[in-house]
């Protein structure tokens, strides 16, 4: 595991520390090797780059405890903080139509929903896609793969299924199916990362990725943002989750991950949504406020 020290979190700093220089050097080298064009880095202008307000969202797993008590009220408070979008993860007894009504009432937009792998690869796929339309969302997301599939052959089978699911999603007028990673997905077997199997053996038009930057770092990727350069336009959504010094979870901006460096080439990666997540927040609303404040102020 490698944690990265944060650099700029607002527009006041212009220097690049060693970690940031190493990241940029690595990214540029990868781009040169792969023939990938990167946007120009004008030092004077870079400090003005910011996350679009419409791209700052909350993955609702963070808020699961308070959602279970008051779904509509929780959405209202998130909208009041400034969030524009949400990723749906658990409906807490509500229908897709009911959640859509609550979202519309507070001017929030669902952009994706986590749906179990077995549901999407089985007979539940058509209904899951219909529900995404009802929610007004774009992407079905596989949140994890069964533990028994964590082998190269298992991930190759998942890649075949993802291509099929992604085609059905595209045919239904939605976006590609996305995969959400955990640390175990970055295990290296016989010199190959399981995660890389999915990246290389799926059709980029049909399959994308919701990169959880915490789990990518925890799983052994010292620079999760390198994926943006290696695999352009395949990461429409991120889980923005910070790492505490002890390796646990932290509010975004309060931990050790260098989000400014990580997001330098987010545009190359195709990132549209930065979804806040904290797996075990002591106070979900405090986490929501702290994390939103950081992302809204971030310059990179």
The mean pLDDT value for 87-96 works out to 98
pLDDT at 224 (0 to 100)? 87
Q: What is the pLDDT of residues 35-83, one digit of tens each?
A: 333 443 434 445 679 999 999 999 999 999 999 999 999 999 999 999 9
pLDDT digits (tens, 9 = 90+) for 225-281: 899 999 999 999 999 999 999 999 999 999 999 999 999 999 999 999 999 999 999
* Nearest CA-CA partner of 277 in 88, 92, 107: 88
Q: Domains of the chain (ranges plus CATH)? A: 52-297 (3.20.20.150)
Contact 264, 24 (CB under 8 A): yes
Q: How many residues does the chain have?
A: 300
Integer CA distances (angstroms), 51 to 119, 222, 257, in order: 33, 23, 17
pLDDT of residue 44: 43
Instruction: Tell me the C-alpha distance between 271 and 47, whole Å.
Output: 19
Contact 189, 152 (CB under 8 A): yes
For residues 241-268, one letter each, b for 16 or more C-beta atoms within 10 angstroms of the residue's C-beta and e for the rest, the string is bbbeeeeebbbbbebbbbbbbbbbbbeb
Q: How many DSSP H helices and E strands does the chain contain?
A: 14, 12
Sign of the CA dihedral 197, 199, 205, 211? positive
pLDDT tens digits, residue range 105-139? 999 999 999 999 999 999 999 999 999 999 999 99
pTM for the model stands at 0.86
């Amino acid at each position: 595991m490698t944690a990265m020290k944060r650099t700029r979190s607002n527009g006041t700093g212009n220097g690049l520390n060693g970690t940031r220089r190493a990241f940029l050097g690595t990214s540029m080298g990868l781009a040169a090797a792969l023939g990938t064009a990167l946007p120009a880095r004008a030092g004077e202008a870079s400090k003005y780059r910011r996350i679009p307000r419409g791209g700052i969202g909350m993955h609702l797993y963070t808020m699961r405890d308070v959602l279970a008590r008051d779904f509509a009220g929780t959405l209202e408070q998130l909208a009041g903080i400034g969030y524009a979008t949400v990723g749906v993860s658990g409906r807490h007894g509500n229908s897709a139509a009911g959640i859509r009504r609550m979202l519309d009432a507070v001017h929030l937009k669902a952009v994706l929903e986590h749906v179990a792998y077995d549901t999407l690869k089985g007979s539940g796929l058509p209904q899951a896609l219909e529900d995404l339309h009802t929610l007004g969302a774009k992407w079905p997301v596989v949140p994890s793969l069964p533990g028994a599939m964590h082998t190269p052959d298992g991930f190759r089978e998942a890649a075949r299924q993802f291509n099929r699911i992604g085609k059905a999603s595209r045919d239904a007028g939605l976006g590609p199916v996305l995969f959400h990673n955990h640390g175990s997905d970055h295990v290296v077997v016989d010199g190959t990362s399981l995660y890389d199997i999915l990246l290389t053996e799926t059709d980029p038009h049909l399959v994308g990725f919701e990169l959880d930057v915490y789990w990518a770092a925890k799983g052994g990727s010292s620079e999760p943002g390198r994926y943006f350069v290696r695999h352009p336009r395949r990461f429409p959504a991120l889980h923005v989750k910070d790492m505490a010094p002890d390796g646990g979870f932290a509010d975004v901006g309060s931990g050790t991950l260098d989000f400014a460096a990580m997001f330098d080439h987010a545009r190359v990666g195709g990132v549209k949504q930065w979804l806040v997540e904290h797996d075990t927040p002591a106070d979900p609303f405090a986490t929501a406020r702290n994390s939103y404040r950081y992302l809204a102020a971030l310059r990179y």
